[in-house]
Amino acid sequence: MISFIQPCGLYSHDYGGSQRIFQSLLDGDHPPVLSINTNPFAAANSSSANEIRLPSRPGFRHLEYTRLSGSLGLVDWLSSGRFEARLSRALMEHKIKLIHLLVNGYSVVPVCKIASRLAIPYFITIHDDLEYLSVGHPLFKQMVAALGEAWRGAKGAFVISDEIGQEYSRRYGQRQYSVVTDGLKCVADVPQQRPKNSLRIYFMGLFHNTYAQNVRAVLDALKIVRSRQPDWDITVTCRCGSISLATDQDDVPIKVLPFAPEAEVEKDMVSADLLYQPMAFQEEARAFARFSLSTKMITYLGSGLPIFYHGPEDSAAGKLLARHDAAAICTTLDPEAIANHLLEAVARREAIVNNALALARSQFMLADQQKNFWTPILAAL
């Protein structure tokens, strides 16, 4: 049996990108898998017999969001011995022959230590830069050292983008890696037809606080578009649960919807004209933008609707979309420039969408992602 170890449930209805990717990889034939959810706040009981809860440390709900949160990193170390014992026991009880670990926190230290002690081969997946995620953690150096050892010692490595694979090879040593991300079961045959006098912008997925700056600039840009095209239907819809954003009385209508399953998102897109893909401009978030590839972007690529990318030009998503001319690219917070890019997106809608569909078919089909992931794992069993 294979163990997937990560700080989220693989059989619940949360809407995180990592969970979505792993769920898609498990959607089909594969060897038996035991998911081990290490999140301190995981539900006591999983909805699946194929998943167990094994929190890496106690959770401190209110303190996690205060100024004391940085000091809580020491609890990782204090809890490590107990976590190692419980994890070792679980791996042996379930006769685990191979481990797959999502590297995104302190758990890389005890998990890789246990894998070595029990002589269990392991694979790692990198979705976000650990150095970015762990800034301020009191055990930062220990975590980065363990990551380097895991990068060099893992049986195989999967990365969310080629950019982070190249960067980790530079930092921790050259090695082969496979790019594995979300996949599409199908894509639209042709661009979706939309009214010429309509600009209904749609966003779905997790809304990071850093995106508020982007959206505020877009709302200001839409005022300019409305002044130029007063007869257009202009709206913004965000299916993201909630957003922290100050709105003005003269903003175009903005609707915030709760998270919903993919089927509901597909219904939303029937009434959308442009799909919004923000990436943060703030310097402290640049590592996230440079290396990570949002799962929402892949859904967007196969939809038959044009993408409006709004973020720094050196992000993994921005470079990919620009290279294939698969989106309208806007790399500024200036409302006047954003307005021009939005109008360009409407004018070039068909060409942008055709390029996006071609990119989806060539790089992001689910069958190809599953093959990239399972082929080296099956060879190692």
Residue 325 sits in a domain whose CATH number is: 3.40.50.2000
Looking at the fold, whether 161 and 211 belong to one and the same domain comes out as no
Domain count along the chain = 2
Q: Is 188 inside any structural domain? A: no
pLDDT score for 63: 59
Q: What is the pLDDT of residues 79-96, one digit of tens each?
A: 889 999 999 999 999 999
* 17 and 52 co-located in one domain: yes
The string of DSSP codes covering 283-295 is GGGHHHHHH---H
The answer on 178 and 29 residing in a single domain is yes
User: 179 and 240 share a domain?
Assistant: no
pLDDT band at 251 (very low <50, low <70, confident <90, very high): very high
Claim to verify: residue 127 and residue 229 sit in the same structural domain: no
Long-range CB contacts for residues 156-159, cutoff 8 Å, separation at least 24: 156/123, 156/124, 156/376, 156/377, 156/380, 157/123, 157/124, 157/125, 157/126, 158/123, 158/124, 158/125, 158/126, 158/372, 158/373, 159/125, 159/126
Token output for 163: 């950019």
Residue 53 clears pLDDT 80, i.e. is over it: yes
Spacing of C-alpha 54 from chain mean position: 23
Q: What is the 3-state secondary structure (H, E, C) of 61-108?
A: CCHHHCHHHHHHHHHHHHHHHHHHHHHHHHHHHCCCCEEEEECCCCCH
Which pLDDT value is given to residue 44? Answer: 53
Alpha helix (H) residue ranges in 122-280: 130-133, 140-153, 162-172, 212-228, 262-269
Residue 334 lies in a domain: yes
Instruction: Categorize the per-residue pLDDT at 17 as very low, low, confident or very high, splitting at 50, 70 and 90.
Output: confident
What pLDDT does 64 receive? 60
Domain annotation covers residue 105:
yes
User: Within this chain, do residues 227 and 321 fall inside the same structural domain, yes or no?
Assistant: yes
Q: What is the mean pLDDT of residues 10-29?
A: 85
Residues 70 and 115 in one domain: yes
Of the chain, the percentage scoring pLDDT greater than 90 comes to 73
In the numeric block, the tokens 């639209």 are attached to 188
- Residue span of the structural domain in which 328 resides: 198-363
Let me know whether 296 and 373 are in one domain.
Answer: no
Instruction: Classify residue 83: in a domain, yes or no.
Output: yes
Rounded average pLDDT over 345-369: 97
* 174 backbone φψ class: left, alpha, beta (φ>0; ψ -120 to 50): beta
Assess whether 216 and 339 both reside in one domain.
Answer: yes
CA distance 238 to 220: 16
Q: What pLDDT was estimated at residue 246?
A: 85
Residues 370 and 328 in one domain: no
Residue 189: inside a domain: no
In a shared domain, residues 202 and 323: yes
Lowest model confidence (mean pLDDT) among 51-65, 147-161, 211-225, 257-271 = 51-65
Mean pLDDT of 286-293: 85
Provide the token pair at 278: 């923000």
**Judgement on whether residues 91 and 168 belong to the same structural domain of the protein:** yes
How many Cα neighbours within 13 Å face the side chain of 291? 17
Which pLDDT value is given to residue 364?
Answer: 96
Type and span of the H or E element at 320:
helix 316-323
Residue 190 lies in a domain: no
pLDDT at 283 over 90: no
Summarize pLDDT for 107-160 with one digit per residue, the tens: 999 999 999 999 999 999 999 999 888 888 888 999 999 999 999 999 999 999
